[in-house]
Amino acid sequence: TLVGNLMHQRPECVFSISATTRPPRPSERDGVDYQFLTREEFERRRDAGEFLEWAEVHGKLYGTPARPVEEHVRAGRVVVLDIDVQGGASVRRTRPDAVSVFVYPPSLEVLRERLASRGTEMPEELERRMRNAPGELARYVEYDYLVINDDLESASARLLAIFDGERARVRRLRPVPSSHMTRKEQP
């Protein structure tokens, strides 16, 4: 939901569609929500170096296809990835220009409620995710920013503020034309 709000508010963003070996959920479409691959096809692409990052999470493989990300970056777009902590660590190693934001639930109980209300995981899968959650949540310190997803409106506003702040960083700006400077500022 937070990523959807960001994409709606900042049209220069493009969402990176991850690949996965997990089966699609009822509302998901191949090529729109994920690229759903067999384990064999995923491993072939991984071994060919086609992923920016990949990880095994909860027994399933997930990865970010590198080529579309690079094409969008070259075209001046901001690519948004929705990935787990393993993938985040990999991206930070390979792309030091990446900005990482950790979205943190207000509590483990709320996380459980949100996952359960989706109705997309079998009970054993939900339990595995909850067992792994404390270790994953502890990794927030590795990220550039933390957004606590306690209230959707506030969390969305914080994510937009991070986005806007990063876009205004001098090191990210293209050279400013001299016509935008006042007479006093020009060298």
Give pLDDT tens digits for 79-124.
999 999 999 999 999 999 999 999 999 999 999 999 999 887 889 9
Strands 60-65 and 51-57, how do they pair?
antiparallel
Give every CB contact of residue 11 below 8 A, 6+ residues apart in sequence.
none
Give the Cα-Cα-Cα angle 60, 117, 31 (nearest 5 degrees).
Answer: 45
Query: What backbone phi and psi angles, to 5 degrees, belong to 109?
Result: -65, -45
Position 66 confidence tier, pLDDT thresholds 50, 70, 90: very high
pTM score of the predicted model: 0.84
Where are the alpha helices (H) located in the chain, listed in sequence order?
2-9, 39-47, 66-74, 85-94, 108-118, 123-137, 152-167
154's tokens:
């506030």
The confidence score (pLDDT) of residue 177 equals 58
